[in-house]
Amino acid sequence: MLTQVLTTELRNVRLLKNVSEKLTVFVLVILHRVRGIISYSDIRRHISRQPSRWEAGEYELRVQTTLKTLNFQLSFITKNNTEEVQN
């Protein structure tokens, strides 16, 4: 399923139906790390569900969740870097 959706997205970029940014967003949404998912079977299950959600048009929810997670991680990293500089 993942390879089919990825192939479709790549084909659409090549045919100029979509901009390449959509492909980048797709990859980020599919591969972003989710808290609490650490075992191989959980990771595989999570990744296998994402393409069907993407095809169902759940872009907004997927992107919002990914952005929220990435912003949290970035703020955590920035805070730690600031503390290291002050010490």
Supply the pTM of this predicted model: 0.49
Backbone phi and psi for residue 37, each to the nearest 5 degrees, phi listed first: -100, 105
Quick one: pLDDT at residue 82?
A: 64
How much is the pLDDT for 29?
76
CA triplet 50, 26, 81: central angle to 5 degrees? 100
Tens digit of each residue's pLDDT (9 = 90 or more) over 48-81: 877 777 777 777 777 888 888 888 878 877 776 6
Residue type, 62: R
Is 65 buried (19+), middle (13-18) or exposed (0-12) by CB count in 10 A? middle
- Percentage of residues of the chain with pLDDT beyond 70: 87
How far is 55 from 14, CA to CA, in rounded Å? 19
Q: What's the confidence (pLDDT) of residue 85?
A: 59
Q: What is the band of 12 on the pLDDT scale with cuts at 50, 70, 90?
A: confident
